[in-house]
Amino acid sequence: MEFSFVQELVHRLKTFQAMQTDVVTTRAEQRMREVQALMRARRISGVPVVDEVGDLVGIVTIEDIIRALDHGHIEEPVDTWMTKDVVTVRDRWPLTESMSVLDRTGYGRLPVLDESGKLVGIVTPESILHSLLVELNRLLAQDEEHPHQAVDRSAPDGLRMEFQVTAGDYDSAGLSSVRLKRELANRGLAQDVQRRVAIAVYEAEANLIIHTERGGQILAVMDDETIRVTVEDDGPGIADIDLAMKHGWSTASDLVRTLGFGAGLGLPNIRKCADHFEIRSAPGYGTRLNLRFDLTPAARGDSAPKGPAGRGDEAGAGE
Amino acid sequence: MLWSELMAELDATVLVPGADFDVNAIAAADLLSDILATEKEDFVILTGQTSPPAIRTALAVGALWVVVVRGKTIPQEMIDLAKSFGIPLAVTGKKMFEACVSAGARMWNSPSSRS
């Protein structure tokens, strides 16, 4: 049974999350001797060979070096002795897929290619183990904060809502936010929490609509103590997170601004609203936001409507 | 200043009526993100936006009313949404700046003003 947790973990990860990105490469016209020296210096057992535009053309492994040495051809170019029929994996494949290729072929490393066939990394058993440990660590840190989280994800009063957000669909902005807020209102949460969650989710939604290539998902899970919101997309990712977190900085187009978005306040506002804010992003791979809202007794219990009566929040209106 | 007083001041046409409460504050912006970043409560949104997201913005931040400036034609979809969520909606012929000036003048001179 212990395996199922790790299996679930592996299943969730994509290959790019487990690859090593600072890959040492060589060119076909280099001599085998130079590659041998490179491998010794960097303590690696295989070097991908790329052409001038970064396309993978082969790989030189320890076995290739030994073969060349055996035949006294160590001074010859890589082109003659490299393995040309390279088994590769894709960056967006589930990690399980790449692991089964490693397992099936018995190779110690697999070059990782992106959609356009460019070499973007390399997966090895070590890089996979490393990524699993990092992910485990993250989950453990979460569970230490909220130990019940690991065992009970569906408390009786719990709530789980998932939203798909479509890129470019400006008119639907705020839809997830309003639906979620209505559920929180139905559960009698305090106005302040409802408001902070609604604003953060609205901003996240707007980001998915404006900035992503294919939209993304928002998942909100509530239990007795917290509301956790995860926002995930698969690209294009943020090149400079520090800059994106700055008030007023935006890459949005004029059209987007005309429609009322792109003020460059989104991420800072989300951070302001949430009790815990975590962002991870890599250009080419997408962005993931982890938000947490703590439910203090006041936040959970105070269901007294604030402000004038007759508001529409609880009306169950038809969106 | 009461909502009805604001409507008179702005010479506004009410598209979705609502109860007549005291207006505490006004957030005037065309960018919905600006409105989402406001820390006011029980306020009026004054905006040039005429799309459903403007109504959802009001719901998210807990704004009580929405007024569209420049006499823009409001799409039926936005009116329906405001109706179904109970957000009073009005349109004024005044431009944003003019609307702010007259609302502000009235608000700060009004005996019922709390701002």
ipTM of the complex: 0.87
Nearest to B32 among A178, A260, A310 (CB): A260
pLDDT at B103 over 50: yes
Residues A61 and A57: their CA atoms lie apart, in Å, by 14
Q: Kindly list the distances between the CA atom of residue B49 and the CA atoms of A64, A101, A163, in Å, as whole numbers in the listed order.
A: 66, 53, 25
The pLDDT assigned to A232 comes to 93
Query: Residue holding tokens 């997170």?
Result: A241
pLDDT at A50 over 60: yes
Per-residue pLDDT reduced to its tens digit, A182-237: 999 988 899 999 999 999 999 999 999 988 888 899 999 998 899 999 999 987 88
Q: In the numeric block, which tokens belong to residue A299?
A: 């936040």
Average pLDDT, integer, range A163-184: 91
Counting one residue from chain A and one from chain B, the pairs whose CB atoms sit within 8 A come to 112
Average pLDDT, integer, range A45-57: 90
Cβ neighbours of residue A19 closer than 8 Å, sequence gap 6 or more: A91, A112, A120, A121, A122, A123, A127
Chain A interface test: which of B36, B72, B83 (most A C-beta within 10 Å)? B36
Long-range Cβ pairs for the range A177-184 (8 Å, 24+): A177/A201, A177/A202, A177/A205, A177/B56, A177/B59, A177/B60, A178/A319, A178/B56, A178/B59, A178/B60, A178/B85, A179/A319, A180/A220, A181/A313, A181/B59, A181/B60, A182/A313, A182/A314, A182/A316, A183/A159, A184/A159, A184/A222, A184/A227
Please tell me which residue of chain A has the smallest CA distance to B23.
Answer: A308
Residues B55 and B78: their CA atoms lie apart, in Å, by 7
- Cβ pair A259:B51 closer than 8 A: yes
Rounded to the nearest angstrom, the minimum Cα separation between A208 and chain B is 14
The pLDDT assigned to A145 comes to 52
pLDDT bracket for residue A283 (50, 70, 90): confident
Please tell me which residue of chain A has the smallest CA distance to B59.
Answer: A178
pLDDT at A147 over 60: no
The pLDDT assigned to A4 comes to 64
The pLDDT assigned to A97 comes to 86
Task: Locate the domains of chain A by residue range.
Answer: 2-129, 154-301
The pLDDT assigned to B115 comes to 43
Numbered residues of chain B with Cβ closer than 8 Å to any chain A Cβ: 18-19, 21, 30-34, 36-37, 41-42, 47, 49, 51-57, 59-62, 64, 77, 81, 84-87
pLDDT bracket for residue A263 (50, 70, 90): low
Residues A288 and B5: their CA atoms lie apart, in Å, by 46
- Cβ pair A312:B60 closer than 8 A: no
Residue ranges in chain B assigned as alpha helix (H): 3-9, 32-36, 52-61, 76-85, 96-109
CATH topology of domain B3-109: 3.40.1390
pLDDT at A43 over 90: no
pLDDT bracket for residue A156 (50, 70, 90): very low
Sequence length of chain A is 319
**A259 or A71, higher pLDDT:** A71
Cβ within 8 Å of B, A 163-182: 170-175, 177-178, 181
Residues A212 and A285: their CA atoms lie apart, in Å, by 11
Per-residue pLDDT reduced to its tens digit, B41-85: 789 999 999 999 999 999 999 999 999 999 999 999 999 999 988
Q: Which CATH number fits domain A154-301: 3.30.565.10, 3.40.190.10, 3.40.50.300, 3.40.980.10?
A: 3.30.565.10
Average pLDDT, integer, range A265-279: 91
Residues B85 and B63: their CA atoms lie apart, in Å, by 12
Amino acid type, A316: G
Percent of chain A with pLDDT over 90: 42
CATH topology of A2-129 equal to that of A154-301?
A: no
The architecture (CATH level 2) of A2-129 comes to Roll (3.10)
Nearest to A315 among B54, B55, B86 (CB): B86
